[in-house]
Amino acid sequence: MKKRKKRLFGKRFKITVGGTLLAVAVLCAIFAPLIAPWDPDQQDLMARLKPGFWSDKAVPGHFLGTDNYGRDLLSRLIYGSRLSILVGVSSMLLSALIGSTAGVIAGLKGGKTEQAIMRFADAQMAFPDILLAILMVAALGGNALNLILVLGISRWMVYARVVFGLTRSLKQRPFVEAATLYGGGDFYVMYRHIVPQVAPVLIVVATLQVAQMILQETALSFLGLGLPPPAATWGNILAEGNTRLFIAPWIANFAGLSIIALVWGVNMLGNGLREHYDPKMIGR
Amino acid sequence: MILPYILRRLAFLPLTLLLVALATFVVLRLTGNPVDIFLDINRTPEQVEALTKRLHLDLPIPAQFLLFLGELLHGDFGESLQFNGPAADVVWQRAGATLQLAGTALGLAVVLGVAGGIACAVWRDRAADAVISSIAVAGQSMPSFWLGMLLIEFFALQMRWLPTSGYGEPRHLVLPAITLATILLPNFVLITRTSIIELMGEQFVVTGRSKGMSRARVLLTHILPNAVNPVLSFLGIQIGTLMAGSIVTETIYAWPGVGRLLINSIFHRDVPVVEAAVFFIATIIALSNLAVDVLQMLIDPRIRRA
């Protein structure tokens, strides 16, 4: 057999690049008030829809130009990273918590509990998550908390399935059986023996899910079902840009670039971590 | 042998649809009173009463659900509040446009995705693989509606080759179909690549090679037939993504399909139409999954025996 060539993009490359992009976005979000040159909601109706540094019609001080109300696009994008990351990460945490708890319980208990949990997960899998999210946001109204709740509930099955499979195989391993025989209760076994084993896989799945959540949030905002308009989220900025595509294409373009940079970074990080934790996956 | 299986799967279909109906009903009754939202401030008490009666809002919730189910069995979702006419008809008129868009996009995604995946697996870890896989991962990170906007910006506004929106002629279908296909395409590339690479390590493939079969022959006769099923089952899962993507794509291009109708009806609190649209989408997904299951059984004798 021919000796395999070295992979062009190794896991170290993926983790470094992905991690860096994510870190930059998180730093922007945390230090938004320090970095952003303007107040993201400050309107300047004399400087509406002005292009940025690339044009000679640019207004000084607005590096990436302004939107329809004369608000500074760069500042809005920097502040927008706050809500996008907050919603993405919180809804990931919520769905990971619901999903992995359900998965561990189904795996440990088996029988009817397992049937009930996993069949419900299957049923929800068959229903498009964004459709569920659309209906729930329409029903509950769009604010950050609702968005996190809705996205969290719409994706828990992903974790439940992965964790369930792992738990079921772990349950038969000697160290888990021993712990149970020594009188360890369900919670003890779960917390001390199952969760540490499942954690690496969970981290990988969770990372990739953050990317999905951020995309879902922007899609909901685009459909007009995200956070209500004055709020600066990337999805909102993109949706506003869409209505002015012809006269001010830069609004949509920079919002889109921000989203793809962050989501791609998170995806790279997740893929890199997957290769790191699971040697079987290398080469896929 | 296959018929009983199909019948058994068909028997589960009503159960799935019942769950969908229940979910739709519960969620939409949380939205608040459609009467408040639909009628304007100058409404008369008679109008309120008439609308309440028409939507059965004066009955207790369980009774409303039973009535809803009963009407559902007759394919009756009630009258649309925005359009004059039965909600089912309103949805049905737009079904063709959605199926046309989703079908074209799915075809594009499967053909290009499988071809790309095969190329990646065959030239694994070489430049072609690195390029295609990287584009695929980037594609997974791309918000589909932004891609739609870029396509409109370039092909419709700058080059003026294609219309920004519209419906009817083939040229109207090009941009929406590409946009929707791009949502699925990267997934098909990556799943095909993984399945084939996995199969390349199987004993029957190694044996074939060691007997002196050429790489191309092993690929055609041993690997590809076995890769059909994993890709098919993945296709089944992706139908949900396809329908969800269709909602967004139809909104970008003002495509007169069920997805745009759904979003529009949500904003108008046109409950009967929303119910009918959600039900239509869920039915499409359930039927496609059934079709995929049956296809897999026809293709793979191992599933038939199990």
Supply the ipTM of this predicted assembly.
Answer: 0.77
pLDDT of residue B178: 92
Cβ-defined contact of A130 to B124 (cutoff 8 Å): no
**Of the partner residues A127, A138, A222, the one whose CB lies closest to the CB of residue B20:** A127
Which of B13, B19, B149, B153 is the best mutation test for A, with the most CBs of A within 10 A?
Answer: B149
Whether B149 has a pLDDT exceeding 70, the answer reads: yes
Could you report the per-residue pLDDT of B230-244, keeping only the tens digit for each?
A: 888 888 888 888 998
B16 and chain A in contact, CB less than 8 A: yes
Residue B248 and residue A222: Cβ atoms within 8 Å?
A: yes
Residues A127, B20 contacting (CB under 8 angstroms): yes
Search chain B and give the residue with CA nearest A218: B143
What is the Cα–Cα distance from A168 to A105, expressed in whole angstroms?
10
Tokens 């909602």 belong to residue? B247
B-chain residues within 8 Å CB-CB of A224? 263, 267
How far apart (Å, rounded) are the C-alpha atoms in residues B147 and A77? 19
Whether the per-residue pLDDT at B303 is higher than 50: the answer is yes
For A270, nearest residue in chain B (alpha carbons): B137
Q: Smallest Cβ distance to A136: which of B27, B149, B274?
A: B27
Indicate which of B25, B141, B194, B251 best probes the interface with A, i.e. most A CBs within 10 Å of its own CB.
B141
Q: For residues A46 and A43, what is the distance between their CA atoms, to the nearest angstrom?
A: 9
Chain B residues 158-217 with CB within 8 Å of chain A = 193-194, 197
Q: How wide is the angle at C-alpha A103 spanned by C-alphas A98 and A109, nearest 5°?
A: 125
Q: What is the pLDDT of residue A2?
A: 45
Could you tell me which of B103, B55, B74, B140 has the C-alpha nearest to residue B243?
B103
Q: Which residue of A has its CA nearest to B157?
A: A246
The SS3 of residue A40 is: coil
Question: Phi, psi (5° rounding) for residue A3?
Answer: -70, 135
Helix then strand count (H, E) for chain A reads: 12, 0
The reported pLDDT for the residue numbered B28 is: 67
d(CA A154, CA A216): 10
A185: exposed, middle or buried (Cβ count in 10 Å: 0-12, 13-18, 19+):
exposed
Distance between B285 CA and the closest CA of chain A, angstroms: 7
Residues 34-53 of B with CB under 8 A from A: none
Yes or no, beta carbons of B30 and A242 under 8 Å apart:
no
Q: Do A238 and B142 touch (CB under 8 A)?
A: no
Which pLDDT score, from 0 to 100, does residue B16 have? Answer: 74
Average pLDDT, chain B: 83
Please report the residues numbered 256 through 285 in chain B whose beta carbons come closer than 8 angstroms to any beta carbon of chain A: 262-263, 266-267, 274, 278, 281-282, 285
Whether the predicted pLDDT of B306 surpasses 60: no
- Contact criterion met (CB < 8 Å) for B137 and A264: yes
Q: HSE of B265 in the Cβ direction (CA atoms, 13 Å)?
A: 27
**A chain contacts of residue B267, beta-carbon cutoff 8 Å:** 224
pLDDT of B33 higher than 80: no
Of B247, B248, B253, B249, nearest in space to B277 by CA: B247
Q: Of A134, A215, A263, which is closest to B266 when you measure between CB atoms?
A: A134
Half-sphere exposure of A70 (CA within 13 A, CB side): 9
How far, in whole angstroms, is CA A40 from its chain's centroid?
23
Residue B53: name the closest of B76, B79, B32, B89 by CA: B79
Contacts of B23 in chain A (CB under 8 A): 127, 132
Determine whether the interchain pair A134/B140 forms a contact, defined as Cβ–Cβ distance below 8 Å.
Answer: no
**Inter-chain residue contact A245 with B152, CB threshold 8 Å:** yes
If contacts are CB pairs under 8 Å, which of residues 131-150 in chain B contact chain A? 134, 137-138, 140-146, 149-150
Question: Is the model's pTM score more than 0.90?
Answer: no
pLDDT at B152: 85
H-helix segments, chain B: 2-29, 34-38, 45-54, 61-73, 87-122, 127-140, 144-151, 170-200, 203-210, 215-218, 224-253, 258-267, 271-299, 301-305
CB contact under 8 A, A128 and B262: no
pLDDT by 10s per residue, chain A, length 284: 444 545 556 778 888 888 899 999 888 888 878 877 777 777 777 767 677 777 777 677 777 777 777 788 888 888 888 888 999 999 999 999 999 999 988 988 888 888 888 888 877 776 778 888 887 787 777 788 888 998 998 889 888 988 888 888 888 888 888 888 888 888 888 888 888 888 888 888 888 889 889 888 888 888 888 887 777 888 888 888 887 777 778 888 888 889 999 999 998 898 888 878 765 544 33
What pLDDT does residue B238 have? 86
For B86, the 3-state DSSP assignment is: strand
Given pLDDT bands bounded at 50, 70 and 90, which one contains residue B229?
Answer: confident
Give bridge partners of residue A125 from the DSSP assignment: none
Q: How far apart are CA A100 and CA A199, in angstroms?
A: 10
Mean of the pLDDT values across residues B129-141? Answer: 87
Q: Chain B contacts of A8, Cβ < 8 Å?
A: 125, 127, 130
State pLDDT tens for residues B46-65. 777 777 777 777 777 788 88
pLDDT at B23: 73
* Tally of CA atoms within 13 A in the half-sphere of B105 that contains its CB: 30
Residue A255 burial by Cβ neighbours in a 10 Å radius (0-12, 13-18, 19+): buried
Interface test with B, best of A3, A8, A271 (most B CBs within 10 A): A8
Cβ separation B281–A131 shorter than 8 A: yes
Which residue of chain B is at minimal alpha-carbon distance from A135? B27
Position A115 scores a pLDDT of 84
Q: Do B146 and A245 touch (CB under 8 A)?
A: no
Q: What is the mean pLDDT of residues B85-106?
A: 91
Q: Does B27 touch chain A (CB under 8 A)?
A: yes
Smallest CA–CA distance from A211 into chain B, residue: B141
